[in-house]
Amino acid sequence: MSILLQSDGVSLKRSNRLLVNNVSVNLAAGELVGLVGPNGAGKSTLLNLLAGLVKSDSGTVLLDNKNINKISLQQKSQRLAWVAQSGPVNWPLTVERIIALGRRPHLSAWQKLSREDKAAIEYAIAATDCEALRHQDATTLSGGERTRMLLARAIAAQPKVLLADEPIAALDLKHQLQTMQLLRKFAMQDKACLVVLHDLSLAYRYCDRLYLMNEGSIVAEGQPCDVLSHEHLQSVYGVEVVKGDGELPYIIPVREL
Amino acid sequence: MRLSQAKLCALLAVIALLLFIASVVIGRDSLPLFAALKDALSGGDSVYAVILTQIRLPRALIALVAGATLGLCGAAMQGLLRNPLASPGLVGSASGAAFFAVLVLYFGTGLVPAYVLPVAGMFGALLATVLVYVLAGRDASVTTLILAGVAINALATAGMSLLLNLAPSPFAVRELVLWTLGDITDRSMNDFWLMLPTTLIGWAMLIGVGGKLDSLTLGERTAQSMGVNPVHLRWRVFIAVSLAVGAAVATVGMIGFIGLVVPHLLRPYVAHEPGRLLAASALGGACVLLAADIGVRIIPTDSPLKVGVLTALVGAPFFLHLIVRSRREYL
């Protein structure tokens, strides 16, 4: 399996706090990888570093085995898409136009949308169930609808690597399942997806691999059943859980320790 | 109402052209356009030809170009700052230009050739931009940039107040104040040729930023992940606006509200897309300044009405109306 994105000992310090501490992760083609951990563990910061949006203090990030800071912004944006946790929408554009912005990395300044561009946009709209929202003013969407729209924007870009920050946190149950299936399907097309999740049951069920992060470091990685062990959950989250490892795995927090 | 981008721009261009012709024809003495044109083209020097080439034509050309600059730069600044209340004056270059122009009026009226005034104005605009750069630093955030612009504005305004305060005679004060009001009378073709190069450089720098401003709708981080370098974009727009607005202010003085109201007015017709707004807003700005400059000629007043006063008088209540209407929409 070819590695599409990897970090090698990246660290980031801000105002004397080590936000990300010597983290090495990798994403191979065909993989859906989950990044889990408590609030403030550094998951979003790590995602920013992996997307090349923030420069690390030490260590390197490689996209297609090339240093991500040495690739042109346009080439990078064609291969890698990043979805913010709660991105702003500053003008009342229609949802369709926002999703179409996903094609910008592939277009020069004056180029019009080609038939392939339009097909990619249509696929993204259908895959994220945004058809009904299509002509709505994007600034009037609910939190969950906006998350779906922003994910559609990223899907429309047809990247090789997708980094999504809590894409299902604001979604209803149906759209949570739909989005996880979409990410699975995305990864199966020989692409890679790293997704930050708080729902450990869905992470367990859908992800091929998990990274468990705490206080800026990766404390466990591997198969969901190994990463989400009682010991790890107790030491990292400080809670006791009830857990089922069967066909439909579940993790329910019981009480604080 | 939905119009395609091409249709909207064509419509605005036709209106601008009609207003341009009207601006040439309308005046204290109305001009027989064809006779004047024929005479001017054949190199004659009849009164009509002189009025056409030395009075009306420069006036209409300057109104066209300065108006387009204000509309374009207003749209660019609002797109960059993602704020409908942003105006081209925020970068500090307009007040820098005004301060240096007033400085020339204060010390050198009558002593220096006429072209010194606009040149000093453009120098002031550039100086203000350099100062903003030094104050804010290369990787400045948008907030830092605005604050630096506000600081430069305050400094230039203080400088102008000082000059007014120290002015030797009431006549000098009157001249200084009247200049800052914004006015396109008594301009020559030389003024037009002087403002043109920096204006065109500014415009050219804004070609192709439309798509980047569209991406910026989703915030700087997301735009960056979509291939936009926010720092480059910021400086590109900033310098372009400084050059073009500096040239406009140096030539016609402070003309407010066009850069604020025109983009706001046209935004619904371009589906709120900041990129498509640029061209439409440039044409719209040209229309508004041409119309206002015709307005000051046909509105009967005892002493001549300054075009900057008219745009502010019409613009401010109109802007209030827009705010009240948008508030109602969001409630």
Domains and CATH numbers, chain B: 5-330 (1.10.3470.10)
pLDDT at B331: 47
Alpha-carbon Rg for chain A, nearest whole angstrom, is 18
The segments of chain A whose pLDDT lies below 70 read 1
Closest CA to B164 of B154, B153, B176, B152: B176
User: CB–CB of A153 and B271 under 8 A?
Assistant: no
Distance from CA of A102 to the nearest CA of B (A): 8
Nearest to B271 among A74, A97, A157 (CB): A97
Q: Which residue type occupies B182?
A: G
| Residue A148 pLDDT | 92
How many whole angstroms separate alpha carbon B315 and alpha carbon B318? Answer: 5
Chain CA centroid to CA A84, Å = 8
Mark the ranges of chain B whose per-residue pLDDT is less than 70.
1-3, 109-110, 326-331
Does the beta-carbon distance from B211 to A81 stay under 8 Å? no
Q: Which domains does chain A have, with CATH numbers?
A: 3-256 (3.40.50.300)
**Partner-chain contact A93 B273, CB within 8 Å:** yes
What global pTM score does this model have?
0.90
What DSSP state is assigned to residue A229? -
Span between the terminal Cα atoms of chain A, in Å? 40
Taking residue A25's Cβ as centre, other Cβ atoms within 10 Å add up to 20
Which residues on B lie below 8 Å from A102 (Cβ)? 226
CA angle B67, B71, B77 (to 5 degrees): 140
pLDDT at B277: 95
Does an H or E element contain A66, and which?
strand A66-67
Contact B277, B267 (CB under 8 A): yes
Cβ pair A98:B218 closer than 8 A: yes
Please, which residues have CB within 8 angstroms of residue B315's CB and are 6 or more apart in sequence? B256, B257, B258, B260, B261
d(Cα B84, Cα B70) in Å, to the nearest integer?
Answer: 15
Nearest CA-CA partner of A8 in A56, A59, A81, A46: A59
Picking from A101, A135, A162 by the largest number of B CB atoms within 10 A of its own CB, the best residue to mutate is A101
Task: Map tokens 């005892």 to a residue.
Answer: B302
Q: Cα(first)–Cα(last) distance of chain B, in Å? A: 22
Q: Which residue of B has its CA nearest to A110?
A: B208
pLDDT of residue B167: 84
Residues of chain A positioned with their CB less than 8 A from the CB of B210: 109
Q: Is B237 exposed, middle or buried (0-12, 13-18, 19+ CB in 10 A)?
A: buried
Burial B165-189 (b: 16+ CB within 10 A, else e): eebeeeebbeebebbbbbbbeebbe
Contact in structure between A163 and A50 (CB atoms under 8 Å): yes
Q: How far is B315 from chain A (nearest CA, A)?
A: 23
Question: Cβ–Cβ contacts within 10 Å for residue A66, how many?
Answer: 13
Q: Which of B225, B228, B236 to mutate to test the interface with A (most CBs of A within 10 A)?
A: B225
DSSP B163-209: HHHH-SSHHHHHHHHHHHH---TT--HHHHHHHHHHHHHHHHHHTT-
> Which residues in A lie closer than 8 A to residue B227 (C-beta atoms)?
73-74, 76-78, 104-105
Task: Report which secondary-structure segment, H or E, holds A252.
Answer: strand A250-256
> What residue in A sits closest to B268 (Cα-Cα)?
A92
Q: Among candidates B98, B142, B141, which has minimal Cα distance to B121?
A: B98
Closest CA to B314 of B273, B260, B274: B260
Q: Where are the alpha helices (DSSP H) in chain B?
A: 5-25, 33-41, 47-50, 57-81, 93-108, 116-136, 142-166, 170-181, 189-206, 210-216, 220-225, 230-252, 258-266, 274-298, 307-330
Classify residue B6 by burial, with Cβ atoms within 10 Å: 0-12, 13-18, 19+. Answer: exposed
Which residue in A77, A94, A109 is closest to B225 by CB distance? A77
Q: How far is A248 from chain B (nearest CA, A)?
A: 35
Neighbours of A92 (CB within 10 A): 16
Q: What pLDDT score was predicted for residue A118? A: 94
